[in-house]
Structure 1
Amino acid sequence: MRLLIVSDSHGNSHILDELVEKYIDHVDKFVHCGDSELPDNHLVWNIMDTVSGNCDFYADFKDIHIERETAFPYAIVHGHHHNVKWTLEDLKEFAKLNKLSFMFYGHSHILKFDYEDGIFFINPGSIQSPRGLLREKTYCLLEANDTTVKIRVFDDQHEELPELFQKWELTQV
């Protein structure tokens, strides 16, 4: 399974178009974790799955998108209804209840990876306005198979940030 994960683009449709053009033949799915601030009839939503964020006032997106047609079931949320700035417990409970392998979320604008109780929690940061110690605009490429999960992080110029690379051997987790 290969996914492109992006969040919090806050009106920057240009970068979303670039991501689709660059990766259309290289990923299985495109994931946007909300706060696009784009209308729900924007053409990018024909390709990219998204959810409603706290700044998506003019679109009718779902609050949660669950995907079960991939090798590893996952959900996309923005996070503002799940207390993600303080804890992952709400996401963990939701993931366990729905038997999900991955939870993708945004809202905090802070790149973050966690693995707890057999669930991967991934926040790709913000492609428009990053916060926290890392001030890079980021998105992620996730590759998962039966033995490994790899996450590569890129900036808005599509340059890889190799120091942020993450890898988990599934036989060890």
Structure 2
Amino acid sequence: MKALIVSDSHGFTNEVNMIKERHQKQVNLMIHCGDSELEYTSEPLKGFSKVRGNCDFDRNFPEDITESFGNRTVFVTHGHLYNCKMTLLNLKYRAEELGATIVCFGHSHVAGAEVIDGILFINPGSIRLPRMRKERTYAILEMNDNSLKVDFFELDGTLIDTLAADFKLE
């Protein structure tokens, strides 16, 4: 199974469409972690499970959602309501409350993935305004049996990093 994860596109429409068209037939789930700055029903966001970021003003966006991904529960949020630029602890507590073993979030624009206490945290970075690297990034999560891998891609589709290779989650 695969999931496409995008965040912080800040008004980009052509780029979101390009990424969606590139991967939608290869993935089982598409997630936008907020700050699209688009309307909830906009064409570029069709097919995405999506949440509201601090720069999204359409009230139709939910603050948080959970999605099933195989036998896993994914907690999706933008992260601004959980102080994610300072700590992942609040996200961890909420994931535990929801029974989620995967957390997808944005807000900081910093691409990264790590496991904390059996929970995989993924921030795909930003396809518009990246921080801590020059590449504008998004991520693809792949699950095989109980093994998870996160690949990070540049906007043009070039694989740039596998920051979280073969996580084994209980």
| Structure 1 unaligned residues grouped into runs of 5+ | none
**Distance in 2 between the 1:39 and 1:147 partners?**
36
Cα displacement (A) at 1:78: 0.2
Cα displacement (A) at 1:152: 0.9
Code of the residue aligned with 2:96 in structure 1: it is K
Provide Cα deviations, 1:5-39, integer angstroms capped at 9, x if missing partner: 01000000111111111111100010110000001
Q: Matched residue of 1:41: which SS? A: coil
Cα displacement (A) at 1:112: 1.6
Report matched runs for 1:120-139 at 5 Å.
120-132=120-132, 134-139=133-138
**Distance in 1 between the 2:146 and 2:94 partners?**
25
- 8 Å contact kept, 2:74–2:100: yes
| Structure 2 unaligned residues grouped into runs of 5+ | none
Report matched runs for 1:55-134 at 5 Å.
55-68=55-68, 70-132=70-132, 134=133
Q: Matched residue of 1:27: which SS? A: coil
- In proportion to residue count, which structure has more strand? 2
Pairing 1:24–2:24 present:
yes
**Distance in 1 between the 2:87 and 2:114 partners?**
11
- 8 Å contact kept, 1:79–1:105: yes
Q: Matched residue of 1:81: which SS? A: helix
TM-score, normalisation: structure 1: 0.92
Number of residues of Structure 1 aligned to a counterpart in Structure 2: 170
**Distance in 1 between the 2:164 and 2:69 partners?**
24
- 8 Å contact kept, 2:114–2:120: yes
What residue number does 1:167 align with?
165
Report matched runs for 1:140-155 at 5 Å.
140-155=139-154
Code of the residue aligned with 1:167 in structure 2: it is A
**Distance in 1 between the 2:28 and 2:74 partners?**
13
Q: Matched residue of 2:86: which SS? A: coil
**Distance in 2 between the 1:13 and 1:135 partners?**
20
Pairing 1:158–2:134 present:
no
Aligned-residue CA RMSD (Å) = 1.6
**Distance in 2 between the 1:80 and 1:19 partners?**
24
